[in-house]
Amino acid sequence: MAMDNVKKVSHCINIASSRTFKRYEKERLLEEADSEHESAEGDEEEIDDDLDPFVRHFNYDLEENLLEAVSTLPKTVDKHQQHWPILGQFTVHIPKAKTKTLVSIPKVTIEEKRKFAKTGTVPQRITSVCFTQLHVKSQIQNNITKANFTNLHEIHTENMDPLTPLQKELFSIINNYQDLYYPERTLKNGEEIRFTYCLHSINHILKTRTKILHHNNKLLNKYEVPEEYRDQGLVRPKVIILVPFREAALRYVKLHMAFA
The mean pLDDT value for 233-259 works out to 85
The yes-or-no verdict on residue 200 having pLDDT over 80 is yes
Instruction: Please report, in angstroms and rounded to a whole number, the separation of the first and last CA atoms in the chain.
Output: 62
At 16 the pLDDT is: 46
Q: How confident is the model at residue 229 (pLDDT cuts 50, 70, 90)?
A: low
Task: Please say whether the beta carbons of 202 and 259 come within 8 A.
Answer: yes
Task: Please say whether the beta carbons of 194 and 255 come within 8 A.
Answer: yes
Q: How confident is the model at residue 157 (pLDDT cuts 50, 70, 90)?
A: low
At 9 the pLDDT is: 43
Bigger pLDDT: 193 or 152? 193
Alpha helices by DSSP H, listed for 64-113, are 64-71
Task: Tell me the angle at which helices 190-221 and 246-258 cross, rounded to the nearest 10 degrees.
Answer: 60
**Interacting residues of 163 by C-beta distance below 8 A, sequence separation 6+:** 126, 129, 144, 148, 171, 196
Q: What percent of the chain has pLDDT over 70?
A: 66
What does the alpha-carbon distance between residue 226 and residue 41 come to, in Å, rounded to a whole number?
A: 21
Residue ranges of domains in the chain: 44-258
**Interacting residues of 142 by C-beta distance below 8 A, sequence separation 6+:** none
What does the alpha-carbon distance between residue 91 and residue 93 come to, in Å, rounded to a whole number?
A: 6
Out of 12-16, 98-102, 141-145, 226-230, the most confident range is: 141-145
At 115 the pLDDT is: 73
- In this predicted model, what pLDDT tens digit does every residue of 126-154 receive, in sequence order? 998 999 999 999 889 999 988 998 888 87
**Interacting residues of 79 by C-beta distance below 8 A, sequence separation 6+:** 91, 92, 93, 94
Reduced DSSP (H G I as helix, E B as strand, rest coil) percent helix, strand, coil of the chain, to 5: 50, 10, 40
The yes-or-no verdict on residue 234 having pLDDT over 70 is no
- In this predicted model, what pLDDT tens digit does every residue of 64-98 receive, in sequence order? 888 787 788 888 888 999 999 999 999 999 888 77
The mean pLDDT value for 146-173 works out to 84
